[in-house]
Structure 1
Amino acid sequence: MGVAMSDFPEIRYANSDGLSIAYQVWGEGSRNLVLVPGIFSHLEAFLEMSEYADWMRALSSFCRVITFDKRGNGMSDRIVGAPTVDERVMDIQAVMDAAGVSSAVLAGFSEGSALALVFAAREPVRITKLIICGGFPAGELVLGTLTEEDRVKIRRRLLENWGKPGGRHAIARFGPGPEDPAGQEIFAHVCRLAATPTTIAALYDLQMRFDVRKVLPFIRQPTLVLRRAEEPITRAMSKSIADAVPNGIYRELPGSAHVPFFGDQEDYIDAIRDFVLGEDAGETPVPGRRVLASVLFTDLVNSTGQQARLGDNVFRELISRHDALARRLVERHKGRFIHSTGDGLLATFDTPSNAIACAVALRDRLAGGELRMRAGVHTGEIELRGDDISGLSVNIASRIADLAGEGEIVTSDLTRQLMIGSRVIFEARGVVSLKGVPGEWPLYTALSTQAPPSRS
């Protein structure tokens, strides 16, 4: 096995929060198309599959294509366990930055569709259009189509059979069948190079548990959802994305292969070409400044009592020091300090992990002093208004902070969902009503002080 890599684009590396993320740039078109791969990939080994090489050549014939190996597999840095949705979304940004891509059409395949959906909601200016290929917004455990017993069996089979030709595991069904033993050998070899059995089992476990459905209404870009008529991902699952996204279009293609570059590629390529090059798919940013962000509200506990006890001058000096410390920590965790509330702060972050890590750092720095804090973190859509922000999500974060006890960091459900697999432990607080906010809200306490640090 093996191909002449000199015939293909060079492998480059982007820095994503201290990790090396391998990527390739195919073609030189005026339009950019960023591809987010499925649960596993290997930029070089995938080229052993002639179908993949044909697929990439076809796409790059009409646009500049950027694709990459996500952290944890392929030619990118390996990690212990599975990365969170939150962390892998950061890899998309790092690759676009490294490749000099200011705006692009974003395409997510299979498990990568969840990452593409979150990034599109977070970056409405950089991502002009969104394509979902055989995608799903939530895992089978969340949807109830698999049980915990099923999960254990799937994990065991992956650990025992990963990388074996025709192996009996959940991902083998997406590769060549028994009628193509040579193809099965190549597919097994690619699997072995892309990820270890332990890694793929951890990634599949995470895939079964993620849920990004609450992100879908925040996606403003025109979105094309593609699915082959007889593939394993159900029509209801893929169509639910198109139905929930405000500008979603569902299109069904003939065939049964889940992987786009297996089976007849022509219909798939034509659909993507028409969407990327069509008048409504140009490189014009989505108007407005509504973005998905993680909002952090902190509040000093019993600040009025402390002010009465310490006196105005002493308390004012403590608040000044608190605000200076808070600004430094927000900046260190790649956030945006919006303003001081007088006895707390309002800040936004691109990722919930950085928001929680900042809250943990501030709480721990204040420990042992005169001031005590509590915090609320909510991930949702905000409106950027110059140096300020507005929107219901800001009020929700404030209401959540009001429910926290001294030293507690309380979060909404989407914040937790994007961090499944992280070192932060979330404890359910139950479902509550928030003053002035419609609906019922499941809340969680971030218990662990081992929030993933922001690498530099």
Structure 2
Amino acid sequence: MSDVRAVMDTVGCERATLVGYSEGGTMCALFAATYPERTAGLVMIGTYARAMWSADHPWGCRAEDFPQVVETIRREWGGPIGIDRRAPSLAHDATFSAWWARFLRMSASPTAALAFTEMMRDIDVRHVLATIGAPTLVLHAVGDQVIEAARGRYMAARIPNARFVELPSDDHLPWLSDSDIILDEIERFVATFEPLPEPDRLLVTVVVADLVPSARNGGGVDVERTRDRYHEAARLEIIRFRGRFLDAAGPTVLAAFDGPARAIRCASAIVDSARRLGIAAKAGLHTGECEIRPDGLTGAALEVARRVAAVAKDGEVVVSTTVKDLVAGSGLEFLARGEKADGDGTRGQPLFTIVSPATARG
């Protein structure tokens, strides 16, 4: 998302219609939810909200089949891997087959392809679909053998102001049989939707960082006298990780981030800063929709983050499932916990503790 925003800033584009294909559509959906003020419209082609099969998502690769996917990439990368499913209309065309193999080799090395596949396994943006306010067009080939058309319909049904268009071919690649239809639909889409008003809600990752009670801060440390230093250290980390400081009241510091990975790293840095001051802190994070007000942000996401922080132990950074699902490919590692957090439509989300060093700048 940062790359998209950087390009927009460089060319002076305040608001754009985003077009994403396959997992690129997933990223565009997350961008639209996180930066509504920069998103004029959203177009997704052959995309999905979650990569893996689950009981509440009956599509995608099953966990027991994923090792075979990885092994196929390791063994066959460099050849026309997957062409029969991605481009059935040209699967037996020798010229296209050679082009596809070269396209894959130029796109990624075998190691990068494996890393990318591992990252895709963790993708899940279902929680943010309802927060997308931009006009949305979802295009999906009816016979797509890579990502079932039902997954496109699933996304369109959960995004307000979304329209679903079924394409007639079996090709997953959008530049083949359906290309003219796709271009016509996009042209019609951008020419007809009404400009959006300035958004009054946005998707953020909330950090709640708490000093632990005085009784648990041993060694004769006067926590009351140290609190101001803790607040200042937390402010500096929030600035360093490009967050939005919300409040510092008593033992609690509140902040909001447009990037969940940076939010996790900032929370870890705040906990480390407290440790260097000779005291203990803990943090909880949740990603959700908040309302923009002149005096700051409000919304259920803040309350869920408070509940997540409440179950954290001294020195821990704990996140909700939503946060974990949104940082696929970040290199952050998590340990599942038994507790669950309710509220903001989470339906008892499992919680996870950060177990890898997470303070590197994101």
What TM-score do the two structures reach when normalised by structure 1? Answer: 0.73
The structure 1 residue matched to 2:289, chosen from 381, 397, 406, is 381
Whole-Å Cα distance in 2 between the matches of residues 415 and 435 of structure 1?
A: 15
What's 1:115 paired with?
A: 27
Q: CA deviation at 1:451?
A: 1.8
What's 1:150 paired with?
A: 65
Identify if the C-alpha distance between structure 1 residues 304 and 156 changes in structure 2 by more than 3 Å, giving closer, same or farther.
Answer: closer
Whole-Å Cα distance in 1 between the matches of residues 34 and 170 of structure 2?
A: 32
Query: Per the alignment, in what secondary structure is the counterpart of residue 140 of structure 1?
Result: coil
Q: Residues 396 and 437 of structure 1 are in contact (CA less than 8 Å); yes or no, is this contact kept in structure 2?
A: no
Alignment of 1:277 with 2:191, yes or no, is yes
Alignment of 1:173 with 2:85, yes or no, is yes
Amino acid of the residue matched to residue 73 of structure 2? L
Q: CA deviation at 1:148?
A: 3.5
Whole-Å Cα distance in 1 between the matches of residues 331 and 259 of structure 2?
A: 15
Amino acid of the residue matched to residue 170 of structure 1? G
What's 1:27 paired with?
A: none
Amino acid of the residue matched to residue 68 of structure 2? K
What's 1:451 paired with?
A: 358
> Per-residue CA shift, 1:366-405, capped at 9, x if unaligned?
2154421111011111112124110000111111111111
> Per-residue CA shift, 1:154-195, capped at 9, x if unaligned?
11121222222xx3x336632473432112112211211110
Whole-Å Cα distance in 1 between the matches of residues 214 and 253 of structure 2?
A: 13
What's 2:3 paired with?
A: 91
Whole-Å Cα distance in 1 between the matches of residues 217 and 49 of structure 2?
A: 47
> Per-residue CA shift, 1:414-442, capped at 9, x if unaligned?
10011233332211113525489873221
What's 2:15 paired with?
A: 103
Alignment of 1:191 with 2:99, yes or no, is no
What's 2:169 paired with?
A: 255
Q: How do 1:8-407 and structure 2 match up within 5 A?
A: 89-142=1-54, 143=57, 145-164=60-79, 167=80, 169-170=81-82, 173-175=85-87, 177-232=90-145, 233-278=147-192, 280-281=193-194, 284-303=195-214, 315-407=223-315
Whole-Å Cα distance in 2 between the matches of residues 431 and 317 of structure 1?
A: 33
Whole-Å Cα distance in 1 between the matches of residues 96 and 275 of structure 2?
A: 60
Q: CA deviation at 1:291?
A: 0.7
Which is worse superposed, 291-300 or 97-106?
A: 97-106
Query: Per the alignment, in what secondary structure is the counterpart of residue 305 of structure 2?
Result: helix
Identify if the C-alpha distance between structure 1 residues 130 and 442 changes in structure 2 by more than 3 Å, giving closer, same or farther.
Answer: same
> Per-residue CA shift, 1:65-112, capped at 9, x if unaligned?
xxxxxxxxxxxxxxxxxxxxxxxx222222222222110111111111
Which 5+ residue runs of structure 2 have no aligned equivalent? none
Whole-Å Cα distance in 2 between the matches of residues 264 and 219 of structure 1?
A: 26
Which 5+ residue runs of structure 1 have no aligned equivalent? 1-88
Whole-Å Cα distance in 1 between the matches of residues 214 and 200 of structure 2?
A: 34
Percent of aligned pairs sharing the same letter = 32
What's 1:420 paired with?
A: 328
Q: Residues 335 and 347 of structure 1 are in contact (CA less than 8 Å); yes or no, is this contact kept in structure 2?
A: yes
CA RMSD of aligned residues (A): 2.3
Whole-Å Cα distance in 1 between the matches of residues 83 and 126 of structure 2?
A: 23
Q: Residues 266 and 359 of structure 2 are in contact (CA less than 8 Å); yes or no, is this contact kept in structure 1?
A: no
Q: Residues 123 and 291 of structure 1 are in contact (CA less than 8 Å); yes or no, is this contact kept in structure 2?
A: yes
Whole-Å Cα distance in 1 between the matches of residues 122 and 223 of structure 2?
A: 46
Q: CA deviation at 1:229?
A: 2.0
Amino acid of the residue matched to residue 176 of structure 2? F
Identify if the C-alpha distance between structure 1 residues 328 and 231 changes in structure 2 by more than 3 Å, giving closer, same or farther.
Answer: same
Q: Residues 338 and 350 of structure 2 are in contact (CA less than 8 Å); yes or no, is this contact kept in structure 1?
A: yes
Identify if the C-alpha distance between structure 1 residues 118 and 380 changes in structure 2 by more than 3 Å, giving closer, same or farther.
Answer: same
Q: Residues 226 and 252 of structure 1 are in contact (CA less than 8 Å); yes or no, is this contact kept in structure 2?
A: yes
What TM-score do the two structures reach when normalised by structure 2? Answer: 0.91
Q: Residues 311 and 339 of structure 2 are in contact (CA less than 8 Å); yes or no, is this contact kept in structure 1?
A: no
Q: CA deviation at 1:268?
A: 1.1
Q: Residues 338 and 387 of structure 1 are in contact (CA less than 8 Å); yes or no, is this contact kept in structure 2?
A: no
> Per-residue CA shift, 1:101-159, capped at 9, x if unaligned?
11011111111111011110001111021111111111134546433342112111212
Whole-Å Cα distance in 1 between the matches of residues 350 and 206 of structure 2?
A: 17
